[in-house]
Chain A
């Protein structure tokens, strides 16, 4: 019971996500950041080590309950890294930069143990966190601001389903340029329809096509711009199902595929195999064939997978708030975001 008491903040977050009170990953990110801000300012901790344990407990609890929702864990892991950095700065100790000699000799005398009680760590952390909060809040705008660099006049852009970041990106480009957008409807959820409606409202020339027409239409497309659910450690995507087909078709016609992603979608996770059960989630088949169909369902097995695995070689460019990066550079961004010790908790 004591443990539960301590974790009540993260439990509230989990139940809000489960009950669908928070829908978008952006809101999840902001809520997580706020939660940790509270923890740092009001939580019971004396040393950085204790604080890190508190955060790790929350990551564990969250990833057990919602293994398919990486955003919150990523934010928390990034804040772990911030704690480590700040501690180092404040205590003015150098130990993180392992020299080759140290590694070979296995000399651990210089490794930081974070157990020292540093007086002004709390305020330093809060300062850093408010900076990070600003970064989160402006991330979408920063991505959208780069739109005019990537979209040129009279181009045809293809996108799949609905993504808030992509929507903002296209709207921002439409202020300066005239271009066409083809929206793939994304059966069986058909979120592409509402995406197309939103774009059409901002006077963007929009066409909706069924998923099956992707290959036929792609030859006249100049760029594919999509959002993603997660970016894996090697630059592969875990994205809405249907995107793999689009990426393959784009590859066939050598059309660039741009992925808009917030930094918190970078996940320090490598994929064992993409047909493994834990990679994908199968949602209810009711949106494919309604339950009232009857006896067909006795003999037919209907699957409705939610995600596609898109290998890194099909992605041309990742656009984050810091600018464009090739998939091969993801490893570098990862090491900036997270400390290697925190990859798996």
Chain B
């Protein structure tokens, strides 16, 4: 007690805020039962690493902000204090509970209201694992603060490199800073629409600063040193939901808010990273095993490292002829004979029977996998799932009870205690990109052949490199706009609202999301087509569709006004036709014919568009009869005109 009293009376206690929840569904279904901070990382709860890092880094008081699974976290912290685990000796942990918070920003606003923070502090996003000494960073920050009163935050970055497994594509960012380490420009490339930083943006940066460094290989460590002004800034700007919002807001409104951002780039054996998706979970587990975070290392007691980079807890039993490769096995796991485990993470109390094959997957606590089952590529099994004999699971999220969602389908049932979880139930199949993003953010695939290609042929590696850049754009403004349009149109069609109101609605969303006119054209047409997909199929389909198009014709007329709009419209038709595989054969012809007859499209634009289509594709063959009919009609027209002259 005497120690704690001392630290309270001291003027400058080093404080840290650790937000425990991600507020995202990245770790579903395992996170349904287990909070992220108690996820075992190489057989030790994640929060242990974070707190150990903070205590080694010189922090004396931590505010642990908890919104979900509060009791589990509380009892874990209490257990640590009872057992006098290393970090409890020098650091005080306060758990702050607020179940009403829905975002990172909410948490900080709540903390601001409580007024617990007294000076500069360390701010951690969920899942941070690091080994840096925070005291020099805090000192540097206060020095900066003396020269620049507006300095709000020092972001900590680590230099990584493209292609490294721990540089997650979602975190790919572009940072420009001057020789005083002041951040002038920060952009998360995947979260923005164009994936490009246009050079003219930089112009004033170059004019105002004598030297500017632009780096693209930085990874956000999710650690930041904050001035006391940060919490009030969050309170004043209640639209700041995440730290990214905060950075973006501060950089854009620099003059208004009068706050600046600085950055610190880690050197040498300093390491910082955060587990915010499965891919990072995998990367950090491997890096912990390879001692990149030294002196913070995975527990050596009761754990055994075996060749081929696997670690298993000594309380687990493994059968004959079973092989493990780059995997982590938790405690009390029983593994049968002839089991193959590769690049997998097996949590505690899992029972695996003979001849099971598991690769690139995460098996949640208490799962049972029966004989001969195969679980591969990016599957995540929630708590207590039972996989029956000889079942094949690939790239799915599985939980042990049926999904409550209305859209859950009977075929999602894999076994009595195994139900497939749809990745994006609420957005259905529209958001293919999003699903793809989730898929790729799961586990990084160590494909040996891919590595070979990478070495031997530069061209190939280039193309795969590009691939790694283009997948997984999270929802950006255009996407949000698109879903909004679909919502309003569906509602309008069901309630038979007048189309003029719909046009107003679409236009207002257009301004809200700052979308260009051409994108509006494209998205409105696409939305209508998507809605047409959902009409009841059957013999009546085309007549219902005609009715629907009729209903929407004022809307079409409003948006398809000129040649450029026609091109956009056809582009939308093409995209929908390609992405929707189970289209009716005649659908495309029917649609084009309708649009042509109602004069929304003219023949030149259709023919021009047809010429750009690739030959021998399904679409090409489908459209071909219509195009040739158009061509003939045109020739007839012209010949008729000739005759008439």
A residues with CB within 8 A of B: 1, 3-5, 8, 11, 14-15, 18-19, 65, 277-278, 281-287, 290-295, 297-299, 301-304
Contact = CB atoms under 8 A, between A and B. Distances in A.
A65 B295 CA distance: 12
A277 B306 CA distance: 11
A8 B56 CA distance: 17
Contacts of A283: 269, 291, 294-295
Given A5-B2, A282-B291, A285-B291, A11 B160 contact: no
B159 interface: yes
A1 B1 contact: yes
B309 A284 contact: no
Interface stretch (B84-92, B117-125, B493-501): B84-92
B3 interface: yes
B290 A8 contact: no
User: Size band of the B side of the interface?
Assistant: 35 or more
Contacts of A4: 3, 84, 89
Interface string B291-330: 1111100001000010001000000000000000000000
19 contacts: A3-B84, A4-B3, A4-B89, A11-B89, A19-B56, A285-B290, A287-B268, A287-B269, A291-B158, A291-B160, A292-B160, A294-B162, A294-B164, A297-B164, A298-B163, A298-B446, A299-B451, A301-B290, A304-B291
B290 A291 contact: no
B332 interface: no
Contact of A11 (B90, B158, B293): B90
A74 B1 CA distance: 29
B8 to A, nearest CB: 15
B3 A286 contact: no
Contacts of A286: 268-271, 292
A15 B89 contact: yes
A301 B89 CA distance: 34
A284 B86 contact: no
B532 interface: no
Nearest to A298: B165
Interface string B262-294: 000000111100000000000000000011111
Nearest to A2: B1
B583 interface: no
A42 to B, nearest CB: 14
Contacts of A14: 89
B84 A18 contact: no
B252 interface: no
A229 B79 CA distance: 35
Contacts of B305: 277
Given A4-B89, A8-B3, A15-B89, A301 B309 contact: yes
Nearest to B84: A4
A35 B293 CA distance: 32
B161 A282 contact: no
Nearest to B165: A298
B292 A291 contact: yes
B312 to A, nearest CB: 13
B454 interface: yes
Contact of B454 (A1, A290, A295, A301): A295
A284 B1 contact: no
